[in-house]
Chain A
Amino acid sequence: MDNRQKLEKYGLYDSRFEHDSCGVGFVCDVKGKKSYEIIKQGMEVLGRLSHRGATGADPETGDGAGILIQAPHEFLAKACAKENFILPSSGDYGIGMVFLPTNKKERALCKGIFARIIKEEGQALLGWRIVPVDNSAIGKTAKLTQPVIEQVFIGKGKGLSIGKDGLDFERRLYIIRKKIENEIRSLFLKQKSFFYITNLSCRTLSYKGLLMPEQLEKFFLDLKDSALQSAICLVHSRYSTNTFPTWDLAQPFRFLAHNGEINTLKGNINWMTARQGLLKSKLFGKDLKEIFPVIVPGGSDSAAIDNVFELLVLSGRSLSHAMMMLIPSAWEQNNLLSQNVRDFYKYHTCLIESWDGPAAIAFTDGVRIGAVLDRNGLRPSRYIVTKKNLVVMASEAGVLDIAPDDISISGRLEPGKMLFVDTEEGRIIEDKEIKETMASSKPYGEWLKKNMLELDKLSADSVERIADRKSKTLYALRSTLYANKSYPLSANKVDPLTLFKAFGYTREDFKFIIKPMVEDSHEPNGSMGNDTPHAVLSDKPQLLYSYFKQLFAQVTNPAIDPIREELVMSLDTYLGPQKNILDEQPRHCHKLLVKNPILTNEDLKKIHDIKKNGFKTKTISLLFNISEKNNFKKALDRICKETEAAIKEGFTFVILSDQGINKDKACLSALLATACVHQDLVRKALRTQVSIIVQSASPREVHHFALLFGYGADCINPYLAYEAAAFLIRDKEVDLDLESAIKHYIKAVDKGILKILSRMGISTLQSYRGAQIFEALGLSSEVIDKYFTGTVSRIGGIDLGIIEKEALLRHKEAFAVDGLQRPFLATGGLYQWKKDGEFHLWNPDSIAALQGAVRNNDSKKYQEFAKLINDQSSNPATLRSLFKFKEVKPIPIEEVEPVSEIVRRFVTGAMSFGSISKACHETIAIAMNRLGGRSNTGEGGEDPARFVAFPNGDSKRSAIKQVASGRFGVITNYLVNADELQIKIAQGAKPGEGGQLPGHKVSAAIAKIRYTTPGVTLISPPPHHDIYSIEDLAQLIFDLKNVNPRARVSVKLVSEIGVGTIATGVAKGHADMILISGGDGGTGASPLSSIKHAGLPWELGIAETHQTLVLNDLRSRVRLQVDGGMRTGRDVAVAALLGAEEFGFCTSVLVVLGCVMLRHCHLNNCSLGVATQDELLEKRFSGKPEYVENYFRFIAQELRQIMSSLGIVKIDDLIGRADLLEVNSKILPWKAKKIDFSRILYQPKGNGRASHSPSRKPEGSGLAPYKQDYGIDNILDRKLIELARGALENRKPIKIELSIRNHNRSVGTMLSGEVCRIFGEDGLPANTIHFKFKGVAGQSFGAWLAKGVTLELEGLTNDYVGKGMSGGKIIIYPDRQSNYKVEENIIIGNTTFYGAILGSAYIRGIAGERFCIRNSGLYAVVEGVGDHACEYMTGGRVVVIGRTGRNFAAGMSGGIAYVWDKDGDFKNKCNMEMVILEAVAEEDARTIEKLLSNHYHYTRSSSAKNILDNFTPELKKFVKVMPIEYKRVLGGRKTEEKIELVEASDG
């Protein structure tokens, strides 16, 4: 067992959560002309993508690179001749590249299996060829695992026809490969992991391995041979988040190469397994079963989708057809698509759910080659078509030097669209044509019309009445439910109050959950963090839902904004049995379409009574008799049996119902039952035969619904939640009629579910269903393995017996002795501390003690506080509370590191000015600066006045400047004035969610530091739009390092399974510090369900991260920090022992400064003046820096005592010493008896040591001992700074011309940092420094460009142009030599001018998706934009003189856009949620005219000229996009601001 396997078995690392992300591309000759040149060019492309790949601790080992080409017959024939065997003609033999064990015996065994199976399949083994390799240049890790690489040649069997589609031989090779794989997988081989068949085909051949892109050519000697020829070369370079990449995971796979991540993988695999039983294919016949499992276990997400794609293609579908099934575009709400295409998608949705997640996939079968982007366009993809019929597609532009005058098209892949080349036909087939062709290949529309029912349209007539009503209790029950508005709920006449009690409803559920949902149609917000016990530690019976935590996307894929980007989201649910997906018949769409899977009672009745199209519904009860023993187990078995029987009897829907409980009958957990039935059916390959509808009283919060869907429910009828709504109406708590109340409630649930989906980057419920995107906390493996198979549960926990006991406790409480039932529900106390409620760590005693201690510098009082928190023996709330320190030989406390040193490791968390008051924010900064610790700006900028210290030495400057997704106030000067730049990826209280600061809270002070307009709403998007993947994060780190090379860059992550592997990727992306936040951390405002149910405790996160980094030998490169509920010195000690070097405090600091946990932050109503912007309330703030200083000194002192008792002198020696901790088994609460902390306490062996390791520590450095290589030493900007010396020294204007290439990234950024450092925010006069470049510029061109700097580019560029622009000017136009139609071709990439604050930009050409996203002040002109342009914009002006994509102006709260709507169809593409469209007024006309004049002046734009030449008539075609709120705020004020008009002398 190697270290990795050991860690996986005993530690917290889980290989299933590895991620990769990559550069992908292809080069292809459209006419199919084969040449060595194409392969050469492919490798060139690969090399130029290398900055998108990564290396681990061993700099010579890449994460994998490879190419896929057409079978090079001439070359192979020549090569085989040398091996003494003759190849038949091209196409009559198959080749496979095979990785084999280095052990001779094992290798021979493998080859023997090849020989036998090839023979069994009637084909001929022609021979083997050893592939010549030179491993002298490859890395150590790669060498250690390097397999023997041979090619196998298989001759086509005599009897084999070519088949209808010419693929019979290819299919045979597929079966051979699958059989060999299956057989070898089942063997016991020492070197089994060495074995792998890259591909086995008569059409394609791949060369790949654990290599860096530039090593590929050196390694495979074949690639140097010019006889090797192909018309197609698909390339891939991999960036894995860890450093255990393996040879077999290098891409391309057999058919495709993937850049991205499949978020719904677990669901996709489960569904594929479930549908295997249905697979049938005439083309395969009986052989089909040989290929099972379709998806090879242990592969990556990319490998899995390749497996399925391969099957679909080989069973008869065309490449484009198969790809459209797996990665459909967002068709559900796209009215711009033709009906035909929508029908096509709708039909295929009945066959298979989409593989959801960010993806750029390039695919080929050796003849055709294509590329597709996911529905949201979350991966960049650019292509060039030359006049010489060459197509080059890659993740970025500029990967191949192409003469500008040779370019005929400069394009980009658009969301959900496809680029497709057919070398046989010798042409590029347009997306529209492919889709229309596919869509009209079968009468899908007809089929749908005839076969698909829609629940909403199902009239009462189509529902057959059930004759004998009385025999059907459920029916009887529901009919009473409907007959009577007062809703007597159960046949057994259990009153609602008792039902509420039985299902654990509390008064809080009504007040905090149901009421806001019913009233406002959205789920409720709360503030501060979670300080209640984890479900497994709580003394009170918990619903099973509470044992699960939502997972979320961080770094490796982006969360989605379900509100602003609603057009990609869908809840559509198709009920009814699935059919064989290898076939295509009308009956495949024999489905019941449910638009809203949260069923009303009426909906449920319709489904229950349905008798059409063979649909039949069976209700299965979840009740059991409480008097029996082992009820749960028995009931679950019964339900599974009944479901199976129902399927056999032809029922198509089963309703799992918990209606009808009474004194003697209790019910199962609906979640457990659903998961159990789902898993059981998946295993029996029956799951696709039936739809599972859950009729349950238990779900009420969105988290509950998400769990039910995530574990397999198709639809849910939360009948008791509806009853709760009725209850509120009856109680006059809400003033609504029942129908609207329920409608609101459902809408709130819908929105909440979409949010939870999008948190993980998933767009459709269909893909989310069964995807199990949760981590369990406190469930035993016995429960997990049987019912929640595959879910991560790392500390073990409760078994079925305890789940049952909890259910019975609730039941007993509800059905208490007559006359003793309380006439009201239990208190709850989850969201507020209550004496009779759930335990809170922050309670009156602890708060009072802490405040008493710090105010009077009273160490005794502090000890009292610390005891209240540390000793949770009677109320364990945290995982760490169950630890104790081992007893070792103590040392005198005097020997321990002094307090003054320790406090330097303390930081305060990211709390923005805005979430907390100015006084509070500044008090914290002063205190931290005095202590030598660090305070954090939080999201939202910082007043530059604070950068200047006071005469007495105090300073209000926050050392840590945060960079969050909204980029508010992230101006160059802000970045330059930082000691640390922190990229906030996620926040414990709401990971994967955005935020919104409503206009009325945007005061003048806030607007000033955020560089926006007072009164205009500010929206923070869920993802950083420049981080959709790990290589994007590396790019942002690079950007920030450029702006401020002196600051360390840190990345804030939130604890969840896999955070260790993500951290590894981040370390490889050259971050200096990684912050692991616990899921319990505080917040100013966040949905309650996110506070409670998303993210995991930091104990797990820090331990996993430390272990994984040590294993990867990367621990010494980064420092680790932890926060999220730190309160005492003991907390610090535990965190250090688990691996942290620095420690962050937030909530406790607020308590120190007066917060008494009102939890009102989100209401702007803090009566203590801590978390409010209300001037009146702010005056009440009474905190002092001394309090904070006292607090941190107390903590340090407490820590010193612990260190002395552990015999440890320095904190550095504490780090990672998990062996000093043990479980305090005496205090395990009743539910947690079986809890197992051994994984947390595991210490992996590895070369990587914590940075404390004295032997590796460079002298004098407080930071990580191994400095990261940021790659900023020899960049273009160093030269620019040199060239601009005159300007920087004495403001002398300069203008210089230079050439540029795609590896020149973040050009102008470091220069701008210099400008700011020297001249401050005001920078230099306009155009003082003017650089003109020629060529293709790399990513982040002109990021954070400062005032006085102008960048002019003749050529093309990539993503992130002008991000954070702070006053500079960017001018981009195509090469003067080029002669393609500029206004129809792309010139800059995606996410451009993101968070721009000031400056101007003139772009002659089309921009990709998300142009001017979150622009807050830039003036820009562009000649066309992709989707989501001007998203979240808050200020500035944008003029678009060309076509726009969809979803223009989504979430745009400020600024103005002027769109030249030539075709008059702009309205359909604009998101009208927050804007109105107006005609341009006179002042607008002036703005437009000035900007266009400038544009023409700078770029010689013919489009601009045409408009200017006919200005008056053309002006009428302009539409003014005006945010409603912005308009109101501006009121009568003139919207026009000063626009610099080009000086006559310039240019």
Chain B
Amino acid sequence: MGDIKGFLKVKRQVSKCRPVCERVQDYREVGILPAVEHSMEQASRCMDCGTPFCLWGCPISNYIPEWNDLLFRGKWEKAYLLLSATNNFPEITGRICPALCEYACVLEINDEAVTTRENELAIIEYAFKHGFIKPNPPKRRTGKKVAIIGSGPAGLSCADQLNKAGHNVVVFERDDKIGGILRYGIPDFKLEKRILDRRLEILKKEGIKFMPGINVGMDLKAPYSRKEFDAICLACGSRIPRDLPPKADQPAAEKIEGRELKGIYFAMDYLIQSNKRAQGVKFSSDELIDAKDKKVVVIGGGDTGADCIGVAHRQGAKSVTQIEIMPRPAESRTRDYPWPKYPLLLKATTSHQEAGIRDWSVSTKKFIGENGHVKKLSCCRVEFKKNESGHSVMEEISGSEFELDGDLVILALGFLPPERNNLLKESFLTSRRGVFSCGDMRRGQSLIVWAISEGRRCADFMDKYLTQENNLPII
């Protein structure tokens, strides 16, 4: 514990972002890497609590107080050592994790949380910069072969862990490049792809074999892979988007009026394409989804929606509106979300800071088009009431109908839960011997940090399965 009174001397200060006028012109990262001294000073605010709630909040239990202290005292190498012990990709979580740890920080109670996410980033970037991170292939190989299907954060962390344990790991990816959601779901302005590539380079050198462009089950027969590998991990994510049903309780198959109009897209389709475009891939005009000079409406108030807004700004949208069916969240914790719970709060992401309008308690009734192309949305306001059994029920407010201009509509309504068919067991094992599953595919749509946690825990079970021993250190 370096400075016991640090939190009293130093106020929380998050690092700056590039100015809006500048950053909307490009796809480079919005955030500016904090100065080393700044991070060290911020790290002094960590109180080294006897009961570190940050650890409780963090799905991968990063040794937060320990490396905050090491960071404060400039013991970078040791900080890196401890950080990388629990987190396979700190450079990614350090950029885009919503930082559950910070919501659980004890200082969050009556002060402001430690800037743990940024501190994590500072450590890992320092480590890269100073060459602490070198490929470190396992000293011995077990001779066991493992296939990981899906190269998102869950698949990659699982692969990394199993490779460290000495197994021969092959990662299959349906897309043309490795990374899954990291590569195509998250815009560059939040996570530049060179960051991902830098890590993949190391993993490759450590012996993981990457096989992109292979759709296992289509390009490669499943029976083949089961014979070839001692264990298989399914980490295929959960990418089936939720569509817009006419009523909240109706199945997604029933679509609202005007849904067939052109100019209405799922968020992932939009994001994948724009990510590819940012990397120079060209698309034909009939494939192209572009917001330039469009009145963009994003339906759905979550993180994916926010990413779409940022992209739309960068593509030169005329206007951007985001609507959300749920009421506007509180700006500070409510009784329903006491500390240290991760609260549902009104968040202004960097994309929101850039421009646009946000509206809540808005339900989309139908799309109105011209020439087969969407032009307007017919909406109404809704409110939520508790019924007799205490459940929240949505009610439309009569007379509240209004129309909204929109010639590019993005549906960012989340993803349907994966089809599990009771296949998955507690130990990450599927009902098929030797076949495991983890990540969004197992637990449903979630955060990157949860995916890493899933991958690590799954790897632990797989290692036990493969070696009949318990060797892999996980927490």
Query: What residues of chain A have their CB less than 8 Å away from a CB belonging to chain B?
Result: 507, 528, 731-732, 816-820, 822-824, 827, 831-836, 840, 842-845, 847-848, 851-852, 855-856, 1154, 1156-1160, 1163, 1165, 1167-1168, 1176-1177, 1180, 1182
Q: Are B52 and A833 in contact (CB under 8 A)?
A: yes
* Cross-chain contact A816 with B4 (CB below 8 angstroms): no
Smallest CB-CB separation from B474: which chain A residue? A836
Q: Is the CB of B63 within 8 A of A851?
A: no
**With A731-B78, A1165-B5, A1167-B7: A835-B61 Cβ-Cβ less than 8 Å:** yes
Partner of A822, one of B51, B75, B140, B473: B473
Cβ contact within 8 Å between A1167 and B138: no
Nearest CB on B from A507, distance (A)? 7
Note all chain B residues with C-beta closer than 8 A to A732.
Answer: 75
* Given A732-B75, A835-B61, A1156-B109, A816:B471 Cβ within 8 A: yes
Of the stretches B116-124, B169-177, B335-343, the one at the interface is B335-343
Lowest 4 CB-CB distances: which A-B pairs, in order?
A1159-B50, A819-B139, A844-B56, A836-B475
Please tell me if the beta carbons of A856 and B109 are within 8 angstroms of each other in the complex.
Answer: no
Contacts of A731 in B (CB 8 A): 78
Question: Across the two chains, which residue of chain A brings its CB closest to B69?
Answer: A511
By beta carbon, the residue of chain A nearest B165 is A820
Asked if B49 and A819 sit within 8 Å, CB to CB, the answer is no
Question: Does B356 reach chain A (CB closer than 8 Å)?
Answer: no
With both chains docked as a complex, state the minimum distance between the C-beta of B293 and any C-beta of chain A, in angstroms. Answer: 50
**Whole-angstrom CA separation of A852 from B338 in the bound complex:** 7
Q: Are B106 and A820 in contact (CB under 8 A)?
A: no
Known contacts A1156-B109, A1168-B110; A823 and B338 CB within 8 A of each other: no
A818 to B7, CA, bound (A): 42
Q: What residues of chain B lie closer than 8 Å to A528, measured between beta carbons? A: 50
Instruction: Name the A residues within 8 Å of B164 (CB-CB).
Output: 820
8 A/B residue pairs, CB under 8 Å, sorted by A: A820-B471, A822-B85, A824-B82, A824-B85, A833-B50, A836-B61, A1165-B5, A1168-B109
Known A528-B50, A1167-B7, A1167-B111; contact A835-B140, beta-carbon cutoff 8 A: no
> For the complex, is B55 an interface residue (Cβ under 8 Å from A)?
yes
Q: Report yes or no: A842 in contact with B109, Cβ–Cβ below 8 A.
A: no
Check B166 for interface membership: any CB of A closer than 8 A: yes
Expressed in whole angstroms, the Cα–Cα distance for A819 and B107 within the complex equals 39
Contact A832 B85 (CB under 8 A): no
> Hey, what's the 0/1 contact readout for B98-134 against A, CB within 8 Å counting as 1?
0000001011011100000000000000000000000
Number of A-B residue pairs, CB cutoff 8 Å, is 108
Residue contact B4 to A1163, C-beta cutoff 8 Å: yes
* A820 and B473 in contact, given A834-B55, A848-B340, A1180-B110 (Cβ under 8 angstroms): yes
Tell me, in angstroms, the Cα distance from A856 to B49 when the chains sit together.
25
Contact residues in B for A831 (Cβ distance below 8 Å)? 50
Binding site secondary structure of chain B: loop
Q: Which residues of A contact B78 (CB under 8 A)?
A: 731
Q: Contact: B110 with A1167, CB < 8 Å?
A: yes
Contact B338 A848, beta carbon cutoff 8 Å? yes
Residues on A with C-beta less than 8 A from B140 are: 817-819
| B341 / chain A contacts, CB cutoff of 8 Å | 848
**Known contacts A851-B338, A855-B338, A1168-B110; is-contact A840 B473 (Cβ 8 Å):** no
Assess whether B81 is interfacial by the CB under 8 Å rule. Answer: yes
Residues of B within 8 A of A1158 (CB): 47, 49-51, 106
**Is B36's beta carbon under 8 Å from chain A?**
no
- Docked Cα-Cα span, A817 to B140, in Å, equals 9
Chain A residue with Cβ nearest B5: A1165
The answer on a CB contact under 8 Å between A817 and B471 is yes
Contact with A along B398-409 (1 / 0, CB 8 A): 000000000000
Say yes or no for B53: interface residue by CB 8 A criterion: yes
CA–CA, A817 to B164, complex, Å? 12
**Residues in B whose Cβ lies below 8 Å from that of A1176:** 8
B472 within 8 A of A: yes
Q: Mask for B431-475, Cβ within 8 A of A = 1, else 0?
A: 000000000000000000000000000000000000001011101
- Candidates B51, B104, B139; contact of A1157 at CB < 8 Å: B51
Q: Does B66 contact A (CB under 8 A)?
A: yes
Taking a contact as CB atoms under 8 Å apart, the answer to whether A823 and B81 are in contact is yes
**Residues in B whose Cβ lies below 8 Å from that of A1157:** 49-51
Nearest chain B residue, comparing its CB with the CB of A1166: B47
Contact A833:B51 (CB < 8 A) given known A820-B165, A824-B82: yes
Contact present for A832 and B338 (CB under 8 Å): no
Query: Do B51 and A843 have beta carbons less than 8 Å apart?
Result: yes
Report Cα–Cα, A848/B49, bound state, in Å.
15
Q: Which residues of B contact A1159 (CB under 8 A)?
A: 49-51
Q: How far is the CA of A1159 from the CA of B47 in the complex (A)?
A: 10
Cβ-closest chain B residue relative to A855: B338
B51 CB contact (under 8 Å) in A816, A820, A844, A1177 = A844
Chain B's nearest CB lies how many Å from the CB of A778? 25
- Roughly how many angstroms separate A732 CA and B473 CA in the complex, as a whole number? 27
Residues of B with C-beta under 8 A to A855: 338
Which residue of the partner chain B has the closest CB to A848?
B340
Query: A856 contacts which chain B residues (CB < 8 A)?
Result: 335
B104's partner among A816, A844, A1168, A1180 (CB-CB below 8 A) is A844
- CB < 8 Å: which of A817, A824, A835, A1160 contacts B50? A1160
**Interface contact B109-A820, CB-CB below 8 Å:** no
Residues of chain B within 8 A of A1165, CB atoms compared = 4-5, 47
Q: Mark B41-58, 1 if CB is under 8 A from A, else 0.
A: 000000111111101100
Q: A1167–B48 Cα gap in the complex (Å)?
A: 11
Q: A1167, B61: Cβ atoms under 8 Å?
A: no
Q: Report the minimum CB–CB distance from A108 to chain B (whole Å).
A: 71
Q: In whole Å, how far is A568's beta carbon from the nearest beta carbon of chain B? A: 36
A836 CA to B55 CA, complexed, in Å? 10
How far is A818 from B75 in the complex, measured between Cα atoms in Å?
A: 27
B1-59 CB contacts (< 8 Å) to partner A? 4-5, 7-8, 47-53, 55-56
Q: How far is the CA of A816 from the CA of B47 in the complex (A)?
A: 34
Shortest distance from the beta carbon of B343 to any chain A beta carbon, whole Å: 13
| Residues of A close to B47: CB separation below 8 A | 1158, 1160, 1165, 1167
Given A823-B85, A1163-B4, 18 new contacts (CB under 8 A) = A732-B75, A817-B471, A818-B139, A819-B138, A820-B473, A824-B85, A832-B50, A832-B51, A835-B56, A845-B56, A848-B339, A1157-B50, A1157-B51, A1158-B49, A1158-B51, A1167-B106, A1176-B8, A1180-B111
A493, chain B: closest CB distance, angstroms: 17
- Contacting residue for A507 out of B4, B66, B107, CB 8 A: B66
Q: Report A1187 CB to chain B, min CB distance, Å.
A: 13
Q: Name the residue on A nearest B54 (C-beta).
A: A844
Q: Please tell me if the beta carbons of B55 and A1167 are within 8 angstroms of each other in the complex.
A: no
* CA distance in complex: A816, B106 (Å): 36
- Hey, which chain A residues are within 8 Å of B340, CB to CB? 844, 848
Q: Quick check: A842 and B107 within 8 Å, CB to CB?
A: no
Contact A844 B106, beta carbon cutoff 8 Å? no
Find the A residue at minimum CB distance from B335: A856
What's the Cα separation between A1160 and B82 when bound, in Å?
24
Q: Tell me the nearest residue of chain A to B63, going by C-beta.
A: A827
A1160 to B6, CA, bound (A): 14
Cβ-closest chain B residue relative to A731: B78
Query: Nearest chain A CB to B53's CB is how many angstroms away?
Result: 5
Q: Are A847 and B51 in contact (CB under 8 A)?
A: yes
Measured between beta carbons, the chain A residues less than 8 angstroms from B7 are 1167
B48: nearest chain-A partner, CB-CB: A832
Could you tell me the distance between the alpha carbons of A1168 and B106 in the complex, rounded to whole angstroms? Answer: 9
> Please, which residue of chain B has its CB at the minimum distance from the CB of A826?
B473
Give the distance in Å from the alpha carbon of A668 to the alpha carbon of B324 in the complex.
66
In the complex, what residues of B have CB within 8 A of residue A1168's CB?
106, 109-110
Residue in contact with B81 in the complex, picked from A824, A835, A844, A1180, CB distance below 8 Å: A824
Question: Which of B82, B104, B138, B473 gathers the greatest number of chain A CB atoms within 10 Å?
Answer: B473
Docked Cα-Cα span, A192 to B473, in Å, equals 64
Q: B475 — which chain A residues lie within 8 A by C-beta?
A: 827, 835-836
Say whether, besides A819-B166, A1165-B47, A1156 and B473 are in contact (CB < 8 Å).
no
Within the complex, what minimum Cβ distance (angstroms) separates B332 from chain A? 15
Asked whether, in the complex, the Cβ of A1167 is within 8 Å of the Cβ of B53, the reply is: no
